[in-house]
A and B are shown apart, each in its own frame.
Chain A
Amino acid sequence: MAAPMELSCWGGDWGLPSLHPESLTVMAYAKFSGAPLTVNTINKSWRTPKGDLPVLVSEDIVISQPAKILNFLRKQKYNADYDLSAKQGADTLAYIALLEEKLLPALLHTFWIEAENYCSVTKPWFASRIAFPLSLYLPGKMSREALNRILLTKGGPPLYSLTEVEAQIYRDAKECLNLLSKRLGTSQFFFGDTPTTLDAFVFGFLAPIYKVCFPRVHLQEHLKQLPNLCRFCDDILTCYFRLTVSGHSPAGQDTADANLQKLTQLVNKESNLIEKMDDNLRKSPQHPPHKLTTLKLAAGGEESSPMSRLSP
């Protein structure tokens, strides 16, 4: 609590504080639990990333994997899972295992192995944040490690070619997204109204898929068909990272206000229309047959249609 804690991780883009799922998980957890972390994003300085990111440094202690970092934060009394029951804690572990087994391979593939994505987005982005000459070597190494991991864990027989493995991991990932969506349902977070470790992990894995603009995006398209998961990511971004959906802080607030104004104007217009139609109905005589009233309504309709053409 007293010792300052510094987190080194990959930076962000496309409206995200970080592109790297594990870094994002740790940052989200820190926000949820209120831990005061100073975040250092890797830039082109010569303090090159050794080993895996994210890395937490507190006094002399250096911790490197997300699970261990989260454990450390909990021991420092920054615990986002305080209100969870034991069963919910068990569920958290299970769902995290599901994410790692089913979603992570596809995420790694989208970022590091899909040729178009890797060459046009991932490699330039990471290379621009690593000092030369490591920038020539490190992205390639990360890509090879990702491929290795996928082939070793998923690529045994009867899946003999990379395309079959790819098909299988994307099927698994889509199933995983569907399961997460069903589990989330309509609640704001996975365990009620306050975010927990599981929310941090899910956010860390989903947000890069959701936000990063890749040329090959079939996983993103699948995710966009699950509106509750998209809403979940957007909520966390707006509430905890103070970045709106468009990704800019103060300008975003203005856009939101402008949108609100437009919406109010529309609503006013509609209510005016309804009032006008009401008036017409009242003015029209009651006992003449149906047809007359319809005629009056039509007249009212004609009057209102130029207005409706104006409103978007």
Chain B
Amino acid sequence: ATLCFQAFLQMCNLPIRVICRANAEYMSPSGKLPFIHVGNQVVSELGPIVQFVKAKGHSLSDGLDEVQKAEMKAYMELVNNMLLTAELYLQWCDDVTVEEITHPRYGSPYPWPLNRILSYQKQWEVRKKMKAIGWAGKTLEQVLEDVDQCCHALSQRLGTQPYFFNKQPTELDALVFGHLFTILTTQLITDELSEKVKNYSNLTAFCRRIEQQYFEGQERDSAAIAAPSSKRSLLR
């Protein structure tokens, strides 16, 4: 998610400095990452940040007509609905991944037993949410199938264009890039999720293009984001 809006800000040509903090979740006004700190204002989550940036006079979607804006919003919801939920599911509801990767990673800034308590608490929260929206009953295969369907839809929509709405990048491009790049470069137990995405060559080309255009020249350190996880560049 952090990557989504880093991409967005780069696309708006706004300079940013990325800082990793262990207590970032608590500093954020909504408890969610990422958040930006501008002057004496703090804004979190992609939606409000986009509006904030728009109010300051930078917007990526001004060139779209009403129907296109409706489409863009719909696709953003699709990405949030499917990809984000699938990522959460994989991180917190798949037992193997939870044990080997998520618990250690999430609890790493804290001493024992706080690391275990906090990560169990978060897991319990996420599982409650999955149950409320009906994802608790899904198996891993079903989740992967949903991700595949979502990627298929995104791939169809992108087609052979450079960006989703042809020549100019929009918030949707930033959002999709953020999620897909995370999926492609985060190491998990199995590579099934990233394999699903790699099946769609135009999506991987899209990610590579945005990475080259907007993130080249940045040091590896500043590209490492709040939650420490091993990331490999797509270019290698």
Contact = CB atoms under 8 A, between A and B. Distances in A.
Interface of A: 65, 86-87, 89-91, 93-95, 97-98, 100-102, 145, 148-149, 152-153, 156-158, 179-180, 182-183, 185
Interface stretch (B53-61, B66-74, B100-108, B208-216): B66-74
Interface string B42-60: 0000000000000000000
Given A95-B74, A98-B78, A90 B32 contact: no
B30 A152 contact: no
Contacts of B73: 98, 179
A101 B71 CA distance: 14
Contacts of A157: 29-31
A90 B154 contact: yes
Contacts of B67: 182-183, 185
B30 A90 contact: no
B70 A179 contact: yes
B14 interface: no
A94 B78 contact: yes
B33 interface: no
Interface string B164-197: 0000000000000000000000000000000000
B81 A97 contact: yes
A100 B80 CA distance: 11
A90 B74 contact: no
A145 B136 CA distance: 14
Given A87-B159, A101-B80, A153-B129, A183 B70 contact: yes
A89 B82 CA distance: 16
Nearest to B72: A94
Given A93-B78, A97-B77, A182-B67, A87 B134 contact: no
A174 to B, nearest CB: 13
